[in-house]
Chains A and B, each alone.
Chain A
Amino acid sequence: GAVVSQHPSRVICKSGTSVKIECRSLDFQATTMFWYRQFPKQSLMLMATSNEGSKATYEQGVEKDKFLINHASLTLSTLTVTSAHPEDSSFYICSAINLPGTSDTDTQYFGPGTRLTVL
């Protein structure tokens, strides 16, 4: 149980293009998902909290117009990196938590990550 998928696992794109990353909770519903960015040999940096049916909450310093988040259903959140540039190259990871009231609501389950390389 508590499986989260992420697609694609790896993407290489040209500078200026937009890239969409999908995060799905496969066997549970998630009103809340999180998007992280991880640089090599560093810890996870929270980018935003994605809430089903409402706007995402972005962390300080994260450009909401550059990193568009849509949480259209209880099992899917998407992160779109718009007009990507080489400095956006990173490992992006999503996580999801179970619905409020469930026994593991406070546990984040992670997707396998997406490695983005912008040329």
Chain B
Amino acid sequence: AQKVTQAQTEISVVEKEDVTLDCVYETRDTTYYLFWYKQPPSGELVFLIRRNSFDEQNEISGRYSWNFQKSTSSFNFTITASQVVDSAVYFCALEADSNYQLIWGAGTKLIIKP
């Protein structure tokens, strides 16, 4: 069975704090992709990152960083020095079949307070 779990339903932090969003996945496939998307209040889903299962290198993009650990089946997302504009719902997703379909986590609502 394939599954994505985002156990944190909602996180609230004060601006400039660091925050980590957790994502745990399940799949029996050896080749798969992991994604993070951001959905601000406007509703549009913004692509943040795609990670191949064979690439365990962590990635940093500005204030965003991702930690991929196959040993724990996790793909966590950290925002450093959070800003109010980071407030959104963040979705983690898994693609493990050749049909390009995504298995979605339930999403984590991130609230950054000024």
User: Which residues of A does B touch, CB under 8 Å?
Assistant: 2, 32, 34, 42-44, 46, 49, 91, 93, 95, 97, 104-113, 115
Contact pick for B105, options A2, A43, A113, CB 8 Å: A43
Asked if residues B33 and A44 are in contact (CB atoms below 8 Å), the reply is: no
Stretch at the interface among B60-68, B71-79, B93-101: B93-101
Interface of B is mostly: loop
The distance in angstroms between the C-alpha atoms of A91 and B89, with both chains bound, is: 15
User: Is B7's CB within 8 Å of the partner chain A?
Assistant: no
Of all chain A residues, the one with the shortest Cβ separation from B100 is A97
- Report chain A residues within 8 Å CB of B101: 34, 46, 49
Q: Which of A43, A95, A113 contacts B91 (CB 8 A)?
A: A43
Query: Does B106 belong to the interface (CB within 8 Å)?
Result: yes
